[in-house]
Amino acid sequence: MISTERFVLLFSLVMVVVFVTAIMVSSKGLGIEVAECLPVEKTFTEGRVSKLDDHTYRVYYVAGMWSFDPAVVEVPLESELDIYLTSKDVVHGIHISDKNVNLMAVPGTINNTRVKFHKRGEYQVVCHEYCGTGHQNMLGKIIVK
């Protein structure tokens, strides 16, 4: 007969394997990718949007107390955005509504991800990391025409 301690240990190990497998299968099914962190010697200090072709854009976001630069980004329908994010002061976060985008803005590093917009509308960009007393006002938007 198996002892209680061995049973609990074996059960725990099986549950860990089940949970890790469930996370991997779910992330693959939802298309979740881990954001890449690009360390550089000197990060960019001004936000901008660069057009690569008709449907591909690069957005360089600079998070600062208490705004995103650029605050408003306009792109056409079916556009793919390569988002690069850095911070000029403290740790911030960026979340794009209705999209699976959640990045940290850390001073001295650049995080990036890619997102495609299939529906017209306004997508709110919010800071999800408490960054001081004006945190609630840290908003931006992406307008898909």
Q: CB within 8 A of 102, min separation 6: which ones?
A: 35, 93, 94, 95, 128
Domain range list for the chain = 1-32, 36-144
Angle CA(129)–CA(59)–CA(133) in degrees, nearest 5?
Answer: 25
Alpha helices in the chain (DSSP H): 4-30
pLDDT single digits (tens) 15-52: 999 999 998 888 777 777 666 656 555 567 888 999 99
pLDDT lower than 70: segments of the chain: 1, 33-43
- Stated pTM of the model: 0.73
Given this structure, which CATH class describes domain 36-144?
A: mainly beta
